[in-house]
């Protein structure tokens, strides 16, 4: 696992469900939490986690991972990523974690029930894993919960169920009776909230927020819902720590117009006139006011290297690497892939804007979202090519040392289902700071 350099004695604890290829788990780890348990169902994603250092743990093992630092204080976990591979419903109980006083339970329950790509079956879809998230909350009683999901939850057709999700997270110990519909359970939750007599130690204050990952420094337009909840007895003031957007489209547009962007990428010379002209011609006719934020990061920024990959540009993919599917420059998963085409409804990513949303797809990844338009309009005849897996991982703000298991389609699926590491870390650090303040550790 990439080392984050957090002092053992500063560590808080976490549990990660629906870990996928590791984006949110990596983010939580990087924010100073140590995983007591990680769970994932998909075999290829589990292979990815193990390839990056996770240690397989028996589902029947109800012992707590050892915490030690040699001086009697809290230290790094002996097994830093204890992975239970398989269906979360096969974990008999999370009760053995109750005494560990888990600081944060994090995860993104499978989003297909609520996404357009998943045929939006919603609550009728057997892949709806929110009930398992609530079971975990009841059984381990974490101090905080971070839950990420697709924006489809906010569609009008899902509004009643989304409100139910928030109420159930608020009162997770008011369990749903066997055979009861979610609507019947929701009526009980509403009545309990109206009474206002819930035990603060068994109820949560819930904060849902709709985000665009680009506003938080991810070089990608990715709209999601993040739900943050804190146990009510802790008295956490989330308003003091809730992340605010730091990046904006307006700032990017102004940096393109005034030339700062081109200068930063050393594209301000005469030989790049056509590159600049093509991008400038696509800017809006009416410019928004500069809001003083930082410019949205672009696909070109990602390829040049940002965050964990700062200052490490990816080598360009030559034409001969496409047909041969060759790895370029010795960079892991930076492999050419032939056959990119643009057609109606599938427009490419452009280098000087954030990338389009990386998608997992039901039948593989759709072509348009993973095609990029190059500076050279003659490349391969039309100036387009498929993005490599590593380029896509950079758009998801994964560090280059993080490997992905399986063939290209499975690697892309893991990335499309993941939480961008930077977005997850922004919220994980805010949760940590809020807990530190509430418990006098700041």
Q: Of 99, 41, 90, 105, whose CA–CA distance to 65 is shortest?
A: 99
What distance in Å separates the CA atoms of residue 364 and residue 75, rounded to the nearest whole number?
Answer: 42
Q: Which structure tokens are listed for 358?
A: 């990386």
Do 151 and 267 belong to one domain? Answer: no
CATH number of domain containing 195: 3.40.50.150
What distance in Å separates the CA atoms of residue 348 and residue 343, rounded to the nearest whole number?
Answer: 9
User: Which helix (H) or strand (E) element contains residue 105?
Assistant: strand 104-107
What distance in Å separates the CA atoms of residue 65 and residue 61, rounded to the nearest whole number?
Answer: 10
Tell me whether residue 22 is in a domain.
yes
Q: Of 419, 323, 324, 378, whose CA–CA distance to 108 is shortest?
A: 419
Q: Which structure tokens are listed for 357?
A: 């949303």
Tell me whether residue 98 is in a domain.
yes
- CA-based angle 423:9:435, to the nearest 5? 50
Do 398 and 422 belong to one domain? Answer: no
Tell me whether residue 2 is in a domain.
no
In the set 111, 221, 226, 314, the catalytic residue is 111
Do 369 and 430 belong to one domain? Answer: no
Tell me whether residue 271 is in a domain.
yes
Do 388 and 426 belong to one domain? Answer: no
Tell me whether residue 224 is in a domain.
yes
Do 280 and 240 belong to one domain? Answer: no
For 182, what's the count of Cα atoms within 13 Å in the CB-facing half-sphere?
16
Do 431 and 412 belong to one domain? Answer: no
Q: Which pLDDT score is estimated for 127?
A: 63
pLDDT confidence band for 117 (50 / 70 / 90): very low
Do 203 and 119 belong to one domain? Answer: yes
Task: Give the count of domains, the chain.
Answer: 2
First to last CA, the chain: 27
Q: Which pLDDT score is estimated for 78?
A: 44
Q: Residue 373: give the domain boundaries.
A: 247-416
> 391 in helix, strand or coil?
helix
The DSSP string of 107-153 is: E----GGGSGGGTT-GGGSTT--HHHHHHHHHHH--SEEEEEEEGGG
Average the pLDDT over 50-55 and give the result. Answer: 94
Q: Which pLDDT score is estimated for 126?
A: 65
Helices (H) and strands (E) in the chain, counts: 13, 13
pLDDT tens-digit map of 226-244 = 999 999 999 999 999 999 9
| pLDDT higher than threshold 50 for residue 59 | yes
pTM of the model: 0.92
Tell me whether residue 89 is in a domain.
yes
Q: Which residue has the higher pLDDT, 340 or 346?
A: 340
Q: Which pLDDT score is estimated for 426?
A: 98
Do 302 and 428 belong to one domain? Answer: no
Taking residue 441's Cβ as centre, other Cβ atoms within 10 Å add up to: 11
Which residue matches tokens 């041969």? 324
Do 64 and 146 belong to one domain? Answer: yes
Do 234 and 303 belong to one domain? Answer: no
pLDDT confidence band for 158 (50 / 70 / 90): confident
Average the pLDDT over 374-380 and give the result. Answer: 95
Tell me whether residue 1 is in a domain.
no
The answer to whether residue 111 is catalytic is: yes
Please state which of the ranges 91-105, 153-167, 379-393 shows the lowest mean pLDDT. 153-167
| pLDDT higher than threshold 80 for residue 192 | yes
Tell me whether residue 3 is in a domain.
no
Do 23 and 150 belong to one domain? Answer: yes
The angle that helices 273-280 and 249-258 make with each other, rounded to 10 degrees, is: 140
What distance in Å separates the CA atoms of residue 333 and residue 327, rounded to the nearest whole number?
Answer: 7
Q: Which pLDDT score is estimated for 202?
A: 96
What distance in Å separates the CA atoms of residue 12 and residue 75, rounded to the nearest whole number?
Answer: 10
Do 86 and 137 belong to one domain? Answer: yes
| CA 253 vs CA 218, 234, 269: distances in Å | 16, 43, 19
Contact predicate 206/239, CB 8 Å: no
Measure CA 20 to chain center: 10
């Amino acid at each position: 696992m990439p080392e984050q350099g957090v002092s053992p004695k500063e560590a808080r604890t976490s549990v990660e469900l629906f870990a996928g290829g590791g984006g949110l788990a990596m983010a939580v780890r990087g924010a100073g939490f140590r995983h007591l348990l990680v769970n994932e169902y998909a075999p290829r994603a589990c292979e990815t986690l193990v390839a990056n250092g996770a240690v397989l743990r028996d589902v029947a093992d109800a012992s707590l991972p050892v915490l030690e630092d040699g001086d009697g204080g809290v230290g790094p976990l002996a097994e830093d990523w204890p992975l239970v591979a398989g269906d979360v419903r096969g974990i008999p109980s999370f009760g053995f974690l109750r005494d560990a006083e888990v600081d944060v339970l994090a995860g993104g329950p499978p989003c297909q029930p609520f996404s357009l790509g998943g045929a939006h079956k919603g609550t009728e879809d057997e892949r709806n894993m929110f009930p398992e998230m609530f079971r975990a909350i009841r059984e381990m009683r974490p101090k905080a919960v971070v839950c990420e999901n697709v924006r489809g939850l906010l569609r009008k057709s899902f509004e009643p169920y989304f409100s139910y999700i928030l109420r159930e997270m608020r009162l997770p110990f008011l369990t749903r009776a066997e055979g009861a519909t979610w609507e019947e359970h929701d009526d009980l939750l509403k009545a309990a909230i109206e009474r206002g007599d819930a035990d603060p130690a068994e109820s949560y204050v819930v904060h849902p927020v709709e985000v665009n990952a680009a506003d938080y420094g991810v070089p990608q337009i990715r709209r999601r819902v993040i739900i943050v909840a804190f146990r009510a007895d802790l008295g956490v003031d989330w308003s003091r720590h809730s992340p605010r957007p730091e990046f904006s489209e307006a700032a990017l547009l102004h940096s393109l117009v005034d030339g700062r962007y081109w200068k930063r990428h050393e594209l301000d010379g005469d030989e790049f006139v056509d590159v600049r002209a093509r991008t400038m011609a696509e800017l809006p006719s009416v410019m928004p006011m500069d809001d003083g934020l930082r410019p949205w990061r672009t696909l070109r920024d990602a390829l040049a290297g940002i965050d964990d990959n700062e200052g490490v540009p990816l080598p360009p993919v030559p034409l001969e690497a496409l047909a041969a599917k060759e790895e370029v420059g010795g960079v892991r998963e930076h492999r050419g892939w032939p056959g990119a085409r643009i057609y109606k409804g599938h427009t490419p990513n452009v280098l000087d804007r954030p990338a389009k949303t990386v998608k997992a797809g039901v039948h593989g990844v759709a072509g348009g979202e993973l095609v990029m338009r190059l500076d050279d309009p003659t490349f391969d005849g039309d100036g387009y090519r498929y993005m490599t897996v590593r380029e896509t991982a950079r758009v998801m703000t994964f560090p280059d040392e993080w490997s992905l298991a399986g063939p290209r389609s499975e690697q892309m699926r893991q990335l499309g289902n993941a939480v961008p590491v930077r977005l997850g870390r922004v919220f994980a650090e805010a949760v940590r700071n809020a807990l530190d303040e509430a418990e006098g550790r700041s």
